[in-house]
Every structure is written in structure tokens, then in C-alpha cells.
Amino acid sequence: MNVHQDKIEKLISELCPNGVKFKILGELEDDRVIKLGRGNVISKNDISNTPGDFPVYSSSANGEGEFGRYDKFMFDDERITWSIDGGGRFFYRSPHKYSVTNVSGWLKVNDNNVINTRYLYFVLSNAWLTKVFDYTKKAHPSVIRDEYKIPLPSLAIQQEIVKILDSFTELEAELEAELEARKKQYEYYREKLILNSTNNIEKLENIADIYLGLTYTPKYVDSGIKFISAQNTSSDILDLNNVKFISEDEYNKSTSNAKPKRGDILFTRVGSNLGHPVIVDTDESLCIFVSLGYLRINKNKANNSYIKHWMNTDLFWEQIRKNVHGSAKVNLNTGWLRKFDVVLPSLEYQEKIVSILNKFELLVNDISIGLPAELKARRSQYEYYRNKLLTFKEYAE
């Protein structure tokens, strides 16, 4: 990578020794170098009534923002889109037939002799990391015109930067695809191991006690007892880095049902991550909000890690889907959770299954080893070079 970097530094010293000109995004539009716009209103009914093969992109804070597939299209060219209602995140759209909804914006480069579309995407994406858009300040075209200042080195420099950054993103995509394949393999063996382990079925209420978090919002303080909610259990381990705190007095007067202990299995009761399990792996005092519940496993009947793996199987999810179907407000209700069927082999066999699955889980989730570690390293390297390559001395006239 140093060879490419040396080439860029040589180009900069030759083509812009006194620095690089910058322009506000709105100035580029005023100069007709680019054009900013907003998508069209396209509803789920529109897509349902006119099904097709052309993607419709909408507001998104993650993923690629695809909303559905449609039989019509707005564009068939290279553009940058961004999520007006999803925090202003940018997406690069290579030439293909697609549409953009009204909660997304689009940007078209009219003069490719001034700026490379892919280069502009990298500049905007990098700068976006320092911005905050919310429901008060949305990323409307009229807003982002004044938000972004764009460095304009020569096209040769822009193209070389794109070449370097694309090499990173291609490698990252390969690693992500390989990691995803490993996850699918892990999920396959998890289903097989648990489903084929025994014919013995037990009700969850005979294996574990079930508790819910606080049904009210306590008063927060600067430090004290950690108060956690569903956002702290979104990954496969309990995340205690970004938590709120309640006082010790507040904790002491709170119901014991909201106080999980080491070994308990937290589960998400609401939202898209419904039912997701995480084992408490700390001895410190915790208090949970009602968006979470927890299982306290009878150790004479079940292994808590086995039950956690069972909660990630289709066997568990089929029972969730059966109970939440048609419900206006979806939440994991403890009344029917108690009646869930658990495939329960002997404790000895549960431990064997846990030993195998924990090794698989480590390979796909542990950022200190294997593919996750390599992917993390590549992302850090990419962020370093992206910041370095997109930082220019501004030309002073």
C-alpha cells in the first residue's frame, strides 16, 4: 500500500504543490458540476401492485437500503444516494436500473472532468462520520449543500485514491463473504446437533424461572449501578460499555425480578432482535429495563449455554412465530414463553453439544482470532488510509 501512497504523494507534489482547492457541495451544484435531488414517493403497495426486478432504495442506517423490487425504474446510471431519514448515510450506486424513494436523496455528477463519482462518495462517507443528523436536523438536499466541503485534487489523484480504497473494500467484501459462509455452517450444525440429540421434550417452565425488567424508567445518575436495556444485548455477548446508571438506593428498592446474576440468560423482548439470548458473564450488580427479560436455569436439569444455543435455533423461533403471528404489538410474552418446548438431552450430552458449538461460535464471533480478527484489522487499516488519503492541505489564493 505504501507504493500507492508514494505515488499519490508524488502526484500531489507535482500537480498541486501549493495545496488543493476546496468547494462546498452547494457551490459544486451552483457550478453545475453536480446535481442534488430527492426520490419519489413509492409505497409498499406500489411495489406490491407493480412487482418487478428493479431495486427500490429507501432510508436506511445499515445494509444497502433496498426497500423492494419494482417493475419501474428512475435511473440507469452511476449516482450517490443518501438516507434522509436514516441519519444521512451515503451509498454508492453503480450503473443499473433502480429507483429511490422520497426519504432518500440522490446526487449525480454532471462533469466527470472535475470530480470522480466514486471519489466523491469516499469523501462524503468519510466526512459523514463526523456529522449528526436526527429527526430535528434531517439530511435534506438543501441541508447537505452547506454541510460538506469537498477537496478537489486532479482527476489523476482522485482515480489513484479510488483504486487504493476499492482494493480495501474488495478484500473486506471477500472476508465478509467467507465469514458469512462460516456462520451458515455454524447455524447448520447447531440445528443438527440439538434437533438430533434426543426425543425428550421439556417445557421451559420446568427448566427455568422467567423474569422481566423494570416496567418504569428510573432516575439516571452519573455513576452507580449499571442499568441495561435491549441495546446492550444486540451482539452475542453482553455489552457494558455504553450503559446508563441508577443509584444504589434506586437499585435496592427495585424488584428482584429486574436483577440478573452471573449465568442468567438475558433475552430481548421487543424489536427486530426478538428473543436474542446473551449470558450474563459478570458478578457486578445489574438492573434491566422491561425491553429485556432473563431465564434463571435450574442447573440440575439444564446447562445455561445449551439453553442459549437452543434459543438461537429454528426450533425456538418457530414457537415465537406461532405466538406473535397477527399480534399488533409484538413482544416476547412470558405467559406463552413458559410453555415453549425444549429439546433436552442429558446434562452430559448437553455439555458435549456446548463444547462443539462454543468452538464454532468462537471462530465466527471472536474478534481476537481468525476471520473476525482479520476483518477487524482490515477495517482499521482501511479507515487509517481513507483518512490519510482524503486529507489535503487547502490551497490559499
Contact 25, 34 (CB under 8 A): yes
190 within domain boundaries: no
188 within domain boundaries: no
- Does 205 share its domain with 246? yes
Residue that is written with C-alpha cell 415465537 in the block: 320
263 within domain boundaries: yes
- Does 205 share its domain with 333? yes
- Does 121 share its domain with 145? yes
- Does 135 share its domain with 63? yes
- Does 260 share its domain with 233? yes
At 15 the pLDDT is 65
- Does 301 share its domain with 386? no
385 within domain boundaries: yes
193 within domain boundaries: no
Contact 111, 32 (CB under 8 A): yes
Instruction: Indicate left, alpha or beta for 263 from its phi (over 0: left) and psi (-120 to 50: alpha).
Output: left
Contact 90, 80 (CB under 8 A): yes
- Does 66 share its domain with 145? yes
Q: How far is it, in rounded angstroms, from Cα 233 to Cα 268?
A: 7
Q: How many domains does one find in the chain?
A: 3
- Does 40 share its domain with 144? yes
Q: How far is it, in rounded angstroms, from Cα 323 to Cα 329?
A: 12
Residue spans of the chain under pLDDT 50: 327-328
Q: What DSSP element (H or E) covers 29? A: helix 25-30
115 within domain boundaries: yes
- Does 210 share its domain with 264? yes
C-alpha neighbours within 13 Å on the C-beta side of residue 150:
26
Which residues lie closer than 8 Å to 169 by C-beta, 6 or more apart?
Answer: 382
Q: State how beta strands 99-100 and 90-93 pair.
A: unpaired
Q: How far is it, in rounded angstroms, from Cα 238 to Cα 223?
A: 19
- Does 123 share its domain with 254? no
At 77 the pLDDT is 96
- Does 45 share its domain with 33? yes
- Does 330 share its domain with 233? yes
At 274 the pLDDT is 84
Q: How far is it, in rounded angstroms, from Cα 227 to Cα 223?
A: 10
Q: Domain span at residue 288? A: 199-344
CATH of the domain at 99: 3.90.220.20
246 within domain boundaries: yes
Q: How far is it, in rounded angstroms, from Cα 40 to Cα 27?
A: 25
Query: In what side-by-side order are the strands of the sheet with 292-297?
Result: 208-212, 292-297, 265-268, 277-279
Q: Which amino acid is at 305?
A: S
183 within domain boundaries: no
